[in-house]
Amino acid sequence: MPEVHVHRVTATASAEGVRHALNQFDQFSRAQGLSDDLRRRFLVALDEVLSNVTRHGGPTDGLVQVDFTIAGNRLTVTVEDEAPPFNPLDAPQADTMAPLEQRKAGGVGIELVRKLLETVRYEHTGGRNRLMMTDRLSGHADHS
């Protein structure tokens, strides 16, 4: 049976909440003995996703749930909230009504999330936004 470790962090969708979640992940990954490379890649991606949720998602007193799950050789970080449908990778979605001169498609941050991690999936189910980021603990695939 592959071992499964789950650690849950609940934070507010605010700058303080982002800081808390990132600190928690840092501690968790060090405690689990994850490589620096993996830890850093996830931190970059998590910072991007949480910042987008905070900036463009639901109200700032909304709660965001971040789960770190290690199952077998994979680490998955899941970010969930109960705001109206919002995919952090589509940010800034709210501005599609603005004139086209303004930057409304993906930015550098989104590119980083996509490129740094093996799998990134978004879904909106049961009234919740869920973003799942997965990568291998060891022997990770080429990320060129």
Partner 1 sequence: MALRVRIESAAGAPEERVLEQTDVVIGRIATAGLVLSDASVSRQHARLTFQNDAWWVEALSATNPTLLNDATIDRPHRLATGDVLKMGTSAVQVLGAQEPSRPPSAPAPTATDDRQSARLDLLNEVHRALATAISLPGLLELILERCFSVLAPEEGVVLLRTPAGTLEPASTRQRTGPAGPIQVSRRLIDEVAGKGKPALVMDAAIDERLAGSESMIISGIRSVVAAPLIDSGGLLGLIVLSSRAGVRQFTQHDLDLLVSLASAAALRVRNVALAEEAAERRVLERELAIAHDIQMSMLPKPIPDQPEVLVAATLKPARSVGGDLYDYWMAGDRFWFIVADVAGKGVGAALYMAVVKALFRACAHGDVPVTEVAARMNREIARDNDSMLFVTAMFGTLMLATGDVTIVDAGHNPAVAVSPGGPLNQPAIPKSVALGVVEDFEFTEGRFHLAPGTTLVLYTDGATDARSAQDQIFGVDRLMAAIRNADPTPSALVSSVTTAIDAFATGAPQEDDITLLAIKRPA
Partner 2 sequence: MTISEAHESGVVVVSPHGRIDSTTSAILERHLQGIAAAGQTRVVVDFGSVDYISSAGLRVMLTLAKRARDQKGRVALFGLNDSVRQVFELAGFVALFTIAPTRAEALHSAMA
Give the one entry of partner 2, partner 1, none that residue 18 binds, where binding means its C-beta sits below a cut-off of 5 to 8 angstroms depending on kind: partner 2
Is the Cβ–Cβ distance between 63 and 8 less than 8 Å? no
CB of 84 to partner 1, least distance (A): 7
Partner whose footprint covers residue 15, from partner 2, partner 1, none (CB < 5 to 8 Å by kind): partner 2
The residue to which tokens 């303004």 are assigned: 102
> Which residues, in sequence order, are bridge partners of residue 63?
12
Are 66 and 25 spatial neighbours (Cβ–Cβ below 8 Å)? yes
Cα–Cα dist 92/69, whole Å? 28
Beta-carbon contacts of residue 44 (< 8 Å; ≥ 6 apart): 112, 113, 116
Q: Does 60 bind partner 2 (CB under 8 A)?
A: no
At closest approach, how far in Å is the CB of 18 from partner 2?
A: 6
Q: Does 30 help bind partner 2 (rule: CB under 8 A)?
A: no
| Contact status: 103 vs partner 1 (CB under 8 A) | yes
**Residue 72 touches partner 1, criterion: CB under 8 A:** no
Looking at the DSSP bridge assignments, the partners of residue 3 are none
Residues that bind partner 2 (CB under 8 A): 15, 18-19, 22, 36-37, 40-41, 43-44, 47-48, 50-51, 107-109, 111-112, 115-116, 143
